Structure formats: structure tokens, C-alpha cells
Amino acid sequence: MPKFFAAAALLLTGLSACQSESKPEQSAPTPPTQTDNTTLAVPAPPADRTAEYLAAPQVGDVLVVRFVPENGPAEQFYFYQVYRLGGDTVYTHPARQPAATADADASRPDVFAPEAIRTYTKKELQEYRQESPSDPQHSRLVRVRRGE
């Protein structure tokens, strides 16, 4: 172990001697400065395109509504699939049952109830993005899934 400390001391002494030696004919390039606040390149989250999608809905879009069931412990999500558009009206089929997450699989043919129809105007859908203070379930349209 003493040999290790002696070698480390010699190395440090040699390094400091090299740093104090100046050679005017050879100037070393200056390294780029780094700050303590270096940020890593992290991909940005996908842009929220809900307002854009609601302004121009398409057949096949899935509207995702977040709600908290009365006396329920956690939030749940209800899906509505757009199956027809008529002027300002958006026709949807609701899901047969709520899902635990907004990303739950909605691609199976048995998810939506084609016999049930819910209609909304584009304005109503935009307004549904804000939770109503009088709604005991705190329902709110949180996302539009397109092309999934």
C-alpha cells in the first residue's frame, strides 16, 4: 500500500510540473468550457394534439374520458369510438366497460357497443376538456387517440 501512495504522489507531482511549464511556441487548444448545469438530450414528449383532433375529428378516432367513480378508489377511463361524422355532429359508440389506463387496448372488436350511440357537437367535445365543478365523477375528455 505505501508503494501505491508513493506512485500516486509521483504522478501528481509530474502532472503539476507539466502544467506549470509554459511553452509559448506551442499553445494548446482551449478545451470547451462546461458548466455544472449540463443538460442531457432527452426526447421531448409527444405533442398533445387533442384540441387539433377535436377540431377535425375522423372516423376511427377514440375519445378518452377520465373519470373517478363515486366511492371508487382510483380514476378510470372510458372510450368512445367515432364511427360517423355529420356536419358539426360526432357520432360515437361507447366502450362496453371502463379501462384502468388511458392506453388500454381499444383495438379488439368487442370493446365498443355498436348498438349504443352517443352524439356530441364539436363544441361540446372542446368544452368537455374542462371538468365541470358540479360533476361528482370529475369526468373530463383527456385525449384523442388517432391511428392506433
User: What pLDDT, in 10s, does the model give residues 69-113?
Assistant: 887 778 999 999 999 999 999 999 999 999 999 999 999 989 999
Domain-located, residue 36: no
Domain-located, residue 22: no
Domain-located, residue 92: yes
Location of C-alpha cell 394534439: 49
Asked if residue 16 has pLDDT above 60, the reply is no
Q: DSSP character for 109?
A: T
Domain-located, residue 66: yes
Phi and psi dihedrals of 51, rounded to 5?
Answer: -60, -40
Domain-located, residue 10: no
Print the domain residue range for 79: 50-145
pTM tops 0.85, yes or no: no
- Mean pLDDT for the stretch of residues 44-70: 87
Give the per-residue pLDDT at 43.
57
Location of C-alpha cell 366511492: 71
The proportion of the chain whose per-residue pLDDT surpasses 90, expressed as a percent, equals 53
CB atoms within 10 A of CB 84: 12
CA-wise closest residue to 85 among 113, 60, 115, 110:
60
In the chain, the number of structural domains is 1
Asked if residue 5 has pLDDT above 70, the reply is no
